[in-house]
């Protein structure tokens, strides 16, 4: 196909033809640069054997690239107004299905089973709507969906937080939650100029490769994540301060102190200096103390 959807002139053409107006509230910033799309698709590791799930196809810019590179594509789009546009822009591709549903309320697993071959390698690739980036990613991570990886365009600042290492400004409970399920890395930065309309913030492509098993052993995952959240409650304060405040009705200060020293953990440290392994050990001893 000579005329790709993702050029400024074709995008304008479809906007005019269908009288479409962007909805800012739905995070509608469409990609108008084919090089960026090729790069996203290539770096995501999609091949002709891959089944791809896309969230928010918009006018089909990324969907078209994925239809070219993958075996088949299943896309979830919240905005029904895009239905006639997508029918035209993707008319040449018989390996694409668009479902008009809010991804946050969609029952994803059975839709995957219906559409993809049994055992087919699956990846999620998307230019996500920025207003719901974190809820969408956490839903996919926590629902145990059978994806090998997620490759998503999101705000650079959020990509940095999700992939951050200890002792950096961006490191926090979100980094630990995401990295418990996946290995996270920023693949490349994308300038505002490749979008229509242009967003206010820079974007990055974040790659999340699912782990086969969690990187740490925790007795109780909910407790582990609760402890992490509590530890970062006030970033500038010590662990001792944050933990004694959060657990005051469950554990005495002395108990927290003695459990921490049993694993050689200094409670005058700040949460941002702890590795996931250290959080896991601390969660396990405190959890046992509470039983």
The response to whether 77 counts as a known ligand-binding position is: yes
Q: How far is the CB of 228 from ligand SAM (least distance, A)?
A: 27
Q: Which is nearer to ligand SAM, 139 or 246 (CB)?
A: 139
Q: How far is the CB of 103 from ligand SAM (least distance, A)?
A: 4
The response to whether 88 counts as a known ligand-binding position is: no
Distance CA 14, CA 37 (A): 19
Q: How far is the CB of 131 from ligand SAM (least distance, A)?
A: 7
Q: Which is nearer to ligand SAM, 75 or 164 (CB)?
A: 75
The response to whether 31 counts as a known ligand-binding position is: yes
DSSP alpha helix (H) spans, 23-150: 34-44, 61-69, 83-89, 108-115, 133-142
Distance CA 133, CA 124 (A): 14
CA atoms within 13 A on the CB side of 254: 0
CB neighbourhood size of 147 (10 A): 23
Instruction: Tokens for 228, please give them.
Output: 């992490």
Distance CA 72, CA 97 (A): 8
The response to whether 56 counts as a known ligand-binding position is: yes
Q: Which is nearer to ligand SAM, 125 or 280 (CB)?
A: 125
Residue nearest to ligand SAM (CB): 56
The response to whether 102 counts as a known ligand-binding position is: yes
Q: How far is the CB of 106 from ligand SAM (least distance, A)?
A: 8
Q: Which residues bind ligand SAM (CB under 6 A)?
A: 26-31, 55-58, 61-62, 76-79, 102-104, 127, 129, 132
Distance CA 243, CA 285 (A): 13
Q: How far is the CB of 64 from ligand SAM (least distance, A)?
A: 10
> Residue 165: CB partners within 8 Å, gap ≥ 6?
171, 175
Distance CA 206, CA 153 (A): 6
Q: Which is nearer to ligand SAM, 11 or 244 (CB)?
A: 11
Q: Which is nearer to ligand SAM, 58 or 121 (CB)?
A: 58
User: Which residues are known binding-site members?
Assistant: 29, 31, 56, 77, 102, 127
User: Which residues are known binding-site members for S-adenosyl-L-methionine?
Assistant: 29, 31, 56, 77, 102, 127
């Amino acid at each position: 196909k000579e005329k790709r959807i993702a050029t400024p002139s074709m995008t304008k053409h479809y906007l005019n033809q269908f009288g479409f107006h962007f909805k800012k509230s739905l995070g509608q910033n469409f990609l108008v640069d084919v090089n960026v799309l090729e790069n996203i698709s290539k770096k995501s590791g999609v091949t002709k054997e891959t089944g791809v799930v896309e969230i928010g196809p918009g006018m089909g810019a990324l969907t078209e690239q994925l239809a070219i590179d993958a075996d088949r594509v299943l896309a979830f789009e919240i905005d029904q107004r895009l239905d006639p546009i997508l029918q035209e822009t993707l008319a040449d591709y018989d390996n694409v299905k668009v479902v008009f549903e809010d991804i946050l309320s969609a029952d994803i697993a059975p839709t995957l089973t219906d559409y993809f071959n049994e055992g087919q390698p699956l990846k999620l690739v998307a230019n996500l709507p920025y207003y719901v980036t974190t809820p969408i990613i956490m839903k996919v991570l926590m629902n145990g969906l059978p994806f090998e990886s997620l490759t998503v365009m999101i705000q650079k600042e959020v990509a940095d937080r999700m992939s951050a290492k200890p002792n950096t400004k961006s490191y926090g409970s979100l980094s630990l939650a995401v990295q418990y399920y996946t290995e996270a890395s920023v693949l490349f930065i994308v300038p505002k100029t490749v979008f229509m309309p242009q967003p206010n913030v820079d974007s990055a492509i974040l790659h999340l490769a699912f782990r086969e098993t969690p990187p740490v052993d925790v007795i109780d995952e909910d407790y582990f994540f609760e402890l992490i959240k509590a530890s970062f409650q006030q970033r500038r304060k010590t662990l001792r301060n944050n933990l004694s405040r959060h657990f005051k009705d469950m554990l005495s200060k002395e108990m927290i102190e003695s459990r921490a020293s049993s694993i050689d953990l200094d409670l005058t440290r700040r949460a941002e200096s702890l590795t996931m392994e250290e959080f896991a050990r601390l969660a396990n001893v405190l959890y046992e103390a509470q039983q």
